């Protein structure tokens, strides 16, 4: 077994810069993959096991996965202040950039071709959640219960306009309880 390398923990500035870099360079989602590469593989600031534990929690809890992960990693490395720096690093620079982009496109929308291009861009962009949606449906367990819960949550939001919070709390508690019972019985 190779000797474990002792990597010194990053300073707060290094931590901020690492998160900022990911926030500014990762396009098209999948940021958690970038975090794995940067923090576990390249810099080796945190172990793979610890990272994956965090990812499971980040995905299970509500909240944006990547922000949840930045809190997790930040906390592991520098406690409370680390988690604050992590979130700020991932959000602050990227927020500034997106607003600048918005202003840029906002001043250009009166130009005919820009508007046409934006419609095309928007149409292609809708493909992203569509792809995600199809992937999620395909990975759902082929049983009545998960499918029914999916259909009900779709209809509740689109048709009945039930506030999202109530969908997640109401339907979520039913669904999570049923899964818990299933796991307790040791079903796969």
Partner 1 sequence: MKDVLWDLAAVFGPLSFGTIGGGSSAIADIHYQVVEVHSWLDETQFVEAFAVSRLAPGPGSLFVALLGWEIAGLPGALVATLALFLPTALMMYGVAAIWSRYRGATFLNAMELGLRPIAAGLILAAVFVLLQSLNGGWAARGLAFVSAAVLMRTRINPILLILSGAGLFLIYDTVLA
* Shortest spacing between CB 51 and partner 1, in angstroms: 13
Using only C-alpha atoms, the chain has a radius of gyration, in whole angstroms, of 21
Are 4 and 38 contacting, i.e. CB atoms less than 8 angstroms apart? no
The span from the CA of 48 to the CA of 39, in Å, is 9
* Shortest spacing between CB 2 and partner 1, in angstroms: 26
| Nearest to partner 1 of 5, 123 (CB atom) | 123
* Shortest spacing between CB 166 and partner 1, in angstroms: 9
| Nearest to partner 1 of 2, 186 (CB atom) | 186
Are 139 and 59 contacting, i.e. CB atoms less than 8 angstroms apart? no
* Shortest spacing between CB 44 and partner 1, in angstroms: 20
Query: What DSSP state is assigned to residue 109?
Result: T
| Nearest to partner 1 of 7, 178 (CB atom) | 178
| Nearest to partner 1 of 1, 60 (CB atom) | 60
Of the candidates 81, 76, 86, 84, which has an alpha carbon nearest to the alpha carbon of residue 54? 76
């Amino acid at each position: 077994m190779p000797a474990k390398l002792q990597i010194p923990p990053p300073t707060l500035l290094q931590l901020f810069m690492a998160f900022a870099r990911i926030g500014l360079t990762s396009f098209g989602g999948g940021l958690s993959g970038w975090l794995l590469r940067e923090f576990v593989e390249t810099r080796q600031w945190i172990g793979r096991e610890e990272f994956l534990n965090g990812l499971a929690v980040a995905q299970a809890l509500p909240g944006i996965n990547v922000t949840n992960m930045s809190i997790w990693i930040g906390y592991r490395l520098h406690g409370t202040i680390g988690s604050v720096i992590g979130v700020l690093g991932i959000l602050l620079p990227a927020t500034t950039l997106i607003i600048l982009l918005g202003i840029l496109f906002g001043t250009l929308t009166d130009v005919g071709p820009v508007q046409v291009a934006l419609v095309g861009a928007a149409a292609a962009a809708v493909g992203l959640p569509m792809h995600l949606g199809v992937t999620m449906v395909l990975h759902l367990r082929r049983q009545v219960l998960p499918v029914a819960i999916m259909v009900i949550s779709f209809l509740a939001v689109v048709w009945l306009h039930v506030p999202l919070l109530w969908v997640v709390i109401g339907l979520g508690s039913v669904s999570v309880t049923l899964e818990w019972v299933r796991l307790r019985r040791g079903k796969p």
